[in-house]
Amino acid sequence: MARITAGVGSSHVPLLGVAHDQQKDRDAYFAPIFEGFDWTREWEKTEKPDVVILVYNDHASAFDMKIIPTFAIGCGERYKPADEGWGPRPVPDVHGHPDLAWHIAQSLILDEFDMTIINEMEVDHGLTVPLTMMFGDVAEWPVKVVPLAVNVVTYPPPSGNRCWALGEAIARAVASFPEDLNVQVWGTGGMSHQLQGPRAGLINKEWDNDFLDGLVGDTDRLRKVPHIEYLRETGSEGIEMVMWLIMRGALGKRTKAIHRHYHVPCSNTAIGHIVLRPDNGESFDTRDSTAASDAPLTA
């Protein structure tokens, strides 16, 4: 049976892909950002997930104003990095898991989530930057990826509550897949950022860290945060954070944080990162970067 063993949250700032691709990731500006992912890169080497269900948003690369799916699932064999204006990133192609993806699509649709099915597309920084942050410089990505695209670009995006419920439905779908697979769910995007207009550069450290707190334990208070609060408190692009709630919903009633990182500045944004375990009473963590302190780790 397939199992969801962990959830990962991460920003997907495109500048980090550029910094990595140009070997600048340990320069003074980028080092404090990338250092927060070193723990996760080591951890992933021992976790060895078979598949990542990678919740992300496309930024007008695969979709544009002609077609705007609210929730879409990639059922293809392979996805190439998109050209976002400077040529495609020099990173490996992303390999899908069509059998698991079609199973999840069927389960979600029969569970009344009307997914769009994608068989062919290119993937942009929303998907490739988190892969780089978690796996670094590799000849092939060490996991198969089921891309799960969410519209957070054109109003109206889905509600946080709907995203959480989709995560719960993904957990049901994975649990009914007969093959023994180690599956992670990643939620990407955010944290607070506004890229345009008079409030460009808006950062809200307090709100971001409260959001990270809300992903841990058995609270589901983040389900009820309305769009207008993301907009007001975290800027126009902060709404990307609803995608983290799909990851959170997939982890079940309780979670435990085993790693957490937050840093400002990163381009015009705040960068956040968290690694969660479903917390069902089993203690299968041998390493826990948050164990030294009960206090949340903040910037």
Residues 53-82 that bind ligand DHB (CB under 6 A): 59
Integer Cα distance of 296 and 263 in angstroms = 14
Residues 12-31 that bind ligand DHB (CB under 6 A): 12-15
Comparison of 125 and 144: residue with beta carbon closer to ligand DHB: 125
Residue with tokens 């068989």: 119
Contact flag: residue 264 with ligand DHB (CB under 6 A): no
CB 214 within 8 A of CB 221: yes
Contact flag: residue 268 with ligand DHB (CB under 6 A): yes
Greatest Cα pair distance, the chain, in angstroms, is 52
In b/e form, how buried is each residue of 262-285, taking b as 16+ CB within 10 angstroms? bbbebbbbbbbbbbbbbbeeeeee
Minimal distance, residue 215 CB to ligand DHB, in Å: 18
Comparison of 101 and 239: residue with beta carbon closer to ligand DHB: 239
The residues near 134 (Cβ < 8 Å, ≥ 6 apart) are 8, 10, 37, 40, 41, 44, 186
Integer Cα distance of 215 and 262 in angstroms = 14
Minimal distance, residue 225 CB to ligand DHB, in Å: 18
Mutual orientation of helices 31-47 and 14-21 as an angle, nearest 10°? 80
Comparison of 43 and 211: residue with beta carbon closer to ligand DHB: 211
Tell me the residue length of the chain.
299
Contact flag: residue 189 with ligand DHB (CB under 6 A): yes
Residue with tokens 């968290």: 274
Contact flag: residue 193 with ligand DHB (CB under 6 A): yes
Minimal distance, residue 108 CB to ligand DHB, in Å: 25
Minimal distance, residue 15 CB to ligand DHB, in Å: 6
| Total residues binding ligand DHB (CB under 6 A) | 13
Contact flag: residue 267 with ligand DHB (CB under 6 A): yes
Give the binding site for ligand DHB (CB under 6 A).
Answer: 12-15, 59, 189, 193, 195, 237, 240, 267-269
